[in-house]
Structure 1
Amino acid sequence: MKEIFIKIFPRLHLTLISMTPNGYRINGGLGFSVESPNLELTIKPSKDFQINDYRNIPFNNKESENVKNVINSIIENYKFNLNIAINIKGNCPTHYGFGTGTSIRLAAIEALFKINDYAYDRRLLISLSGRGKTSGIGIRTYFDGGFVMDLGHVKNNDEILPSNLREGIKGSSLLLKNGKTPNWEFGICIPKFINFKTQKEEEEFFKNTIPIKPESVYEILYHCTYGIVPSFLENNINVFNDACSNIQKTEWKQKERSLYGELLNKLEKDLVSFGAETVGMSSLGPTLFFISSDLKSTVKLIKKLYGNRIDVFVTKANNKGREFKCLN
């Protein structure tokens, strides 16, 4: 009986883009994959679906049930004989801006097809996952790592919603570029003293925040297309720092960051005082990433100040996507 091992890597999501119905397209985004914090999944054949999440901040019952429903629906539609049992280990928490929900779902579906000896390709896995309908970063970094910029969807009177509420909508976002990220190092700061946002709170945020002004969309696009993407292609970390800092000042990112108030602002200011040259918030947060000319020093100083209230460490860009092995 096959046993599958899949190591999955987090993505940092810099920003969503067209969060207004007053344009050609909606949604879209920009982000990139890093080496850690990562997750290791072992997946075995099983009579019934099982998921054991050993992380400090695991899936809740509803999130586990969502994965179960996706897997059981695939089994029914494809007439598979075997279900799967999933064990999740690692230090990448859910709801902290790392995209674990998408990557775990893709890994579960990929293992299911492999265990049942059914040929597949990434398009099929992405389609069955139901993800990538708001921003297509995680569905692409799962396979390839690197950086991704996508252009969202043609406007078809669709509501602008978070990914978990767009699963029934056909088609993934339009890819503009999936390239290699320079071999830069990044600091990651996970503030355990700041409460993360649940799916329900994320849904409320979208409902209360959209639309943003068209001019704000243009501003985001400028920093992405003339700042972040060229900085990766030309290996120019100074341009990345400037563009990332400017993205934090845009209307959409400011509203995301406002969810955490002065606690997040204080943490960012402390990182800057200890040498960080740019600080960004991944997705809806509250995780911060940063670049410093002396990352080890910045990490040491912020850790000394905040102690066990944060997890802080150095990671680097990931350009290889998930690791997939059949163990027997």
Structure 2
Amino acid sequence: MREMLQIEAPARLHLGQIDLNGSLGRLYGGIGVALEGPRTVLLAEPCSRLVVEGLERERVTKIARTFLERTGIEGGARLQVTEAIPPHVGLGSGTQLSLAVSLALARLHRLDLTLDDLARITGRGHQSGVGIGIFRSGGFVVDGGIPREYDRPDVEGYVPPIIFQHPFPSSWYFILITPTNTSGYSGSREKEAFAAMPPIPPEDVGLVCRLLVMQLLPALLEENIEAFGQALSEIQWTIGKQFAPVQGGLYSHPAAEGIVRFLLNSGVAGAGQSSWGPTLYGVVAGEEAAREITGALKKYLEAEDIPASVSCLPARNRGARVSWTEEG
């Protein structure tokens, strides 16, 4: 039997960027929530060289090599991903994988590094700190963005502060829809898209901030799903119209507008697109209602000939789980 380090990291929904104007001196800022599935599971054990097995080998190898080079570690590890968040669909796979791999290497080589250190080393969190906050604590997260002077290609290493984190109501469920055979922006493509976008008008930024502070967050704390969903949908619409010139509309997938309309007409409290998509979501009170709407949605997708994966699940109110396990 071999003792192995196991790290389990959750997927997340990115519910919107707060400020793409930057006139107050900060840019971006993000809103997000951790999910009870899917997840990334990484097994790691000491090894004199880097050995990568299982899923996501190419990405894991790149992350691990970057970490080893930047920390000056001589040696490696045996790394195996046994479960993986689907990549490039808006569920935060890149940040969770980067943090899981770098945390495993830091633990195995006994480096005293914080989560923010790991994010800096692996180059995560520039446009959004949501994934870092999700990895740390789960739940519902808001990050405070970055100083505008750090928004340059030659600057790395600023990790946005988490300005709000709170457990998400356990009785609220998300319905997830991921159209197949398509992917959202990530990596250099994402950076190019942000660079191509015109600044969001300050009045729209003001509306998003007002909806966040005076409706969305109070509704979360009071567990008022109708007010929460209304604010969420309006935030999504306000932000979506700014992304439209880059992604081709309010949403990245041509069928998304019809899917969101179906969700809202079926009784979800709020709906939108996670990050650059293509994953869409609706939020509803109660597992029974969520499963009823999910069943109806599957029939709608079949009738409209829209291939997609569909699931319903609650939020996750804990961050990444780190443990030791025995493998035969």
**TM > 0.5:** yes
Q: Secondary structure at the match of 1:37?
A: strand
Structure 1, residues 194-220: CA drift from partner, whole Å, max 9, x if none?
Answer: 443353432332122132211121111
| Structure 2 equivalent of residue 36 of structure 1 | 37
| Structure 1 equivalent of residue 68 of structure 2 | 72
Do 2:225 and 2:284's aligned partners in 1 also have CA atoms closer than 8 Å?
Answer: no
* Cα shift at 1:124: 3.0
| Structure 1 equivalent of residue 95 of structure 2 | 102
Do 1:247 and 1:253's aligned partners in 2 also have CA atoms closer than 8 Å?
Answer: no
**Higher fraction of strand:** 2
Do 2:8 and 2:41's aligned partners in 1 also have CA atoms closer than 8 Å?
Answer: yes
| Comparing 25-34 and 119-128, the one that deviates more | 119-128
What is the one-letter code of the residue matched to 1:312? V
Which one of 208, 212, 217 corresponds to residue 205 of structure 2?
Answer: 217
List, as ranges, runs of 4+ consecutive aligned residues in structure 1 with deviation greater than 6 Å: none
Q: Secondary structure at the match of 2:104?
A: helix
Do 1:2 and 1:115's aligned partners in 2 also have CA atoms closer than 8 Å?
Answer: no
Whole-Å Cα distance in 1 between the matches of residues 150 and 164 of structure 2? 26
| Structure 1 equivalent of residue 9 of structure 2 | 8
Structure 1, residues 276-301: CA drift from partner, whole Å, max 9, x if none?
Answer: 33211111111111123511111112
Q: Secondary structure at the match of 1:38?
A: strand
Change (3 A) 1:194 1:116: closer
Whole-Å Cα distance in 2 between the matches of residues 123 and 273 of structure 1? 41
| Structure 1 equivalent of residue 301 of structure 2 | 306
The answer to whether structure 1 residue 112 and structure 2 residue 105 are counterparts is: yes
Whole-Å Cα distance in 2 between the matches of residues 244 and 31 of structure 1? 11
State the identity as a percent.
Answer: 25
In the superposition, the TM-score normalised over structure 2's length comes to 0.86
Change (3 A) 1:277 1:21: closer
* Cα shift at 1:113: 1.7
Structure 1, residues 255-286: CA drift from partner, whole Å, max 9, x if none?
Answer: 25626253211222233344333211111111
What is the one-letter code of the residue matched to 1:28? G
Change (3 A) 1:115 1:98: same
| Structure 1 equivalent of residue 313 of structure 2 | 315
Change (3 A) 1:179 1:104: same
Matches within 5 A, 1:75-86: 75-76=71-72, 80-86=73-79
Q: How many residues align?
A: 314
Which one of 147, 156, 168 corresponds to residue 169 of structure 1?
Answer: 156
Q: Secondary structure at the match of 1:276?
A: coil
**Structure 1 regions of 5+ residues with no counterpart?**
160-164
Which one of 284, 291, 294 corresponds to residue 292 of structure 1?
Answer: 284
Change (3 A) 1:36 1:252: same
| Structure 2 equivalent of residue 190 of structure 1 | 178
Whole-Å Cα distance in 1 between the matches of residues 37 and 242 of structure 2? 26
Structure 1, residues 29-76: CA drift from partner, whole Å, max 9, x if none?
Answer: 11111111112111222333343453xxx57x4x44541332222451
Structure 1, residues 165-222: CA drift from partner, whole Å, max 9, x if none?
Answer: 68x4232113321222221211111111444335343233212213221112111111
Q: Secondary structure at the match of 2:255?
A: helix
**Structure 2 regions of 5+ residues with no counterpart?**
none
| Structure 2 equivalent of residue 250 of structure 1 | 238
| Structure 2 equivalent of residue 162 of structure 1 | none
Whole-Å Cα distance in 2 between the matches of residues 157 and 100 of structure 1? 24
Change (3 A) 1:170 1:260: closer
Whole-Å Cα distance in 1 between the matches of residues 68 and 110 of structure 2? 17
In the superposition, the TM-score normalised over structure 1's length comes to 0.86
